[in-house]
Structure 1
Amino acid sequence: MLKLLLNCLPLTVILACAEDPQPPAETVAPAAAGNAAVIRNAVAESAPDSSTAATMDFAETEYVFGEVKEGTIVRHTFAFTNTGKLPLLITDARSTCGCTVPSYPKEPVAPGATGTVEVVFNTTHKYGRQRKPVTLTANTNPSITTIYVDGTVINE
């Protein structure tokens, strides 16, 4: 009995690792899909030409705030333009800790239009050099863009 189980184990492992077939992307009509279609169809496998994707072009990707006292709230607004050919949709913005909070437009930004990402950094209990990244996920190629707030927090 044990020998039979050991002989069947490799077959079970192989079958368990098989991928489920994915439905084709065309199953969702772009008009009915809303923002999901913008994300899914931005740089599709059938059209790998990234020149047609949305493009997030920032005026600056880093804000240097210099020296501030511990407890200061640092705010900065990063402006960007969608220089691509499709509507730009930011789906997520994250930082490495709760002290840095980004806010971003939830609606698509049309080609040629501008938008902003505001970053608020709370320096309470932070000391020394601080370089806080904010990672933005969007329907761009590449899909990840990182912006930074950078400076020194002093304890007086």
Structure 2
Amino acid sequence: MKMIKISMLALTLSLMSFSAVAPVKVLISKTITASSIVWKSETIDVGTIPQNTPKPIVFEFKNTGKTAVIITNVQGSCGCTATDYIKTPVAPGKSGTVTATYNAVNPGTFTKTVSVTTNVETAPKVLTIKGTVVTASAGVKS
């Protein structure tokens, strides 16, 4: 009889311990969003350009998202590339530009990058310009 009482007590305590703990549900949510900036071209080949002639390259983009895009920083990969960009927010459905002006001082082929930071992307977008700088004596082919 004493054994039955101890067994019943043990069973009751074990059942109480299960009912006293509320089940815990862990929900993991992962949101994947497509970029809301669509670039007309991420790489522009300017072809052949004459030495000592700055060459502006215009990158165009469209805001395909639902919120305004604000460009917060544009940085060329070297001092030979100056940058400019739209300073006002680009509304959904509207377009904007980033301009990189390459200072064609050194003859030969080149590949330069421009990093664009915005409020809608976590990592900067890297745009590329490339071409060939020729001396005046070599001539320029279009």
Fold shared by both chains (TM-score > 0.5): yes
C-alpha distance in 1 between matches for 2:118 and 2:111: 22
Is the aligned partner of 1:85 residue 2:66? Answer: yes
Contact 2:71 2:86 (8 Å CA) reproduced: yes
Q: Which has the larger radius of gyration?
A: 2
Give the residue type in structure 2 aligned to 1:138: T
Is the aligned partner of 1:151 residue 2:131? Answer: yes
Question: How high is the TM-score relative to the length of structure 1?
Answer: 0.62
Which structure has greater helix proportion? 1
Instruction: Assess, with a 3 A threshold, how the Cα gap between structure 1 residues 131 and 100 changes in structure 2: closer, same or farther.
Output: same
**1:133 Cα deviation after fit:** 0.3
Consecutive aligned runs of 4 or more in structure 1 exceeding 2 Å deviation: 47-51, 140-143
Question: How high is the TM-score relative to the length of structure 2?
Answer: 0.68
Alignment match of 2:99 (pick from 118, 129, 150): 118
C-alpha distance in 2 between matches for 1:48 and 1:141: 16
Give the structure 2 partner of residue 63 of structure 1.
44
Give the structure 1 partner of residue 81 of structure 2.
100
Identity of matched residues, %: 31
Alignment match of 1:137 (pick from 92, 98, 117): 117
C-alpha distance in 1 between matches for 2:68 and 2:56: 27
Q: Summarize deviations over 1:42-76 as a string: whole Å, max 9, x none.
A: xxxxx96353x862211111111112221121112
Q: Which structure 2 residue ranges, 5 or more long, are not aligned?
A: 1-28, 138-142
C-alpha distance in 2 between matches for 1:74 and 1:106: 21
Q: Which structure 1 residue ranges, 5 or more long, are not aligned?
A: 1-46
C-alpha distance in 2 between matches for 1:77 and 1:141: 20
Corresponding pairs, count: 108
